[in-house]
Amino acid sequence: MTIDASSDNYAMSDGSTGIALKVQSTSWELNVAFSPPEVHELLETELPSWLSGSLKVGVSAGQAVAWSCDDGRVSILVGHDDQSWDFGVFVSIDEFASILASLKEHITNQSTRLPGSSSR
């Protein structure tokens, strides 16, 4: 399976500007909206294992998104929590690196830094 990832600015429900991430293969598409602090948390945090508690950042279809990594596979789980999720996408570490690269590239290409971004 090959996945593609892209990101763009997104108008958050509170009127602020966030980032929309689109991850897709030939048979599915997942859209996740992030506030700037959430993007940076995903970029700067090593993903925990599912058993130790997923990283919860982003929103998709009005639901929370939980991220975890186990045995070389990244789980992206959409739903109430990482136990009773409604939709899940599972990607390799390399595919996850492509997702992170898309987010980093978007932030780098912004003519003005998004609120909540660090000076790193």
pLDDT computed for residue 90 by the predictor? 95
The answer for residues whose C-beta is within 8 angstroms of residue 82's C-beta and 6 or more apart is 50, 53, 54, 56, 66, 68, 75
Question: What residue has token string 């993903």?
Answer: 47
User: Is residue 101 pLDDT above 80, yes or no?
Assistant: yes
Domain boundaries, the chain: 4-109
The pLDDT tens digits of the residues spanning 14-45 come to: 888 889 999 999 999 999 999 989 999 999 99
Q: Report helix angle 93-109 to 36-44, nearest 10.
A: 140
| Of the candidate ranges 30-34, 56-60, 61-65, 106-110, the one whose mean pLDDT is the lowest | 106-110
pLDDT per residue as tens digits for the range 69-95: 999 999 999 999 999 999 999 999 999
* pLDDT at position 115: 52
Residue 112 has pLDDT above 50, yes or no: no
Residue, of 119 and 52, whose pLDDT is higher? 52
